């Protein structure tokens, strides 16, 4: 079985450790981020709406990988009320527009992993992935070393997406 190797990026350890060190039962990682008291800049939140927000994936598949979700911690689409559902899909559309404006990708993946067996690593808090893609974005590092490289720091990505977010 092939596995993806990881490049060491210790600068993320302090961020992840500070958010995930709360006792069990404190809510999902996303809920912990919201309750942390940290600024949007520190948490890489790129948009806040009335019922939903968007933040960068701390371990992105590609530069600009954004997660859009309701503030309310729910696991399933059918648990969204009508207002949450409408705002969520508007924010997903806005995230796609922001990613396209900021990065000019060749395409964009939009998707959900509902439940742990479907690939949901934080399955208790519904979130939609918006992932910019480029032809050939599986570079030699992925092909030869099974490792992904990202050319931009999260703080820079967040600033670009905030600036590109439709108003």
Q: Which residues are identified as catalytic?
A: 127
Place of tokens 């032809």: 135
DSSP code of residue 38: -
Pairing of strands 45-48, 107-111: unpaired
CA distances from 120 to 111, 113, 117, 126 (A): 11, 5, 7, 9
Determine the Cα–Cα distance for residues 108 and 97; give it in Å rounded to an integer. 10
Determine the Cα–Cα distance for residues 78 and 73; give it in Å rounded to an integer. 13
Strand order across the beta sheet in which 52-56 lies: 45-48, 52-56, 66-70, 128-133, 107-111
Among candidates 144, 60, 121, 52, which has minimal Cα distance to 93? 52
Residues in the chain: 167
């Amino acid at each position: 079985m092939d596995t993806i190797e990881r490049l060491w990026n210790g600068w993320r350890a302090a961020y992840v450790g500070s958010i995930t060190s709360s006792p069990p039962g404190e809510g999902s990682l996303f809920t912990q981020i919201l309750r942390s008291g940290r600024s949007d800049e520190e948490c890489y939140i790129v948009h806040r709406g009335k019922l939903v927000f968007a933040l960068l994936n701390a371990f992105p598949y590609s530069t600009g990988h954004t997660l859009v979700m309701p503030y309310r911690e729910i696991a399933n689409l059918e648990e969204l009320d009508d207002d949450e559902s409408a705002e969520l899909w508007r924010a997903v559309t806005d995230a796609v527009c922001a990613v396209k404006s900021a990065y000019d990708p060749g395409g964009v993946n939009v998707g959900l992993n509902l439940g742990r067996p479907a690939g949901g690593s934080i399955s208790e808090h519904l979130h939609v992935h918006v992932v910019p893609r480029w032809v050939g974005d599986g570079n030699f590092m992925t092909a030869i070393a099974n490792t992904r490289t990202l050319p931009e720091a999260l703080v820079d990505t967040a600033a670009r997406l905030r600036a590109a977010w439709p108003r």
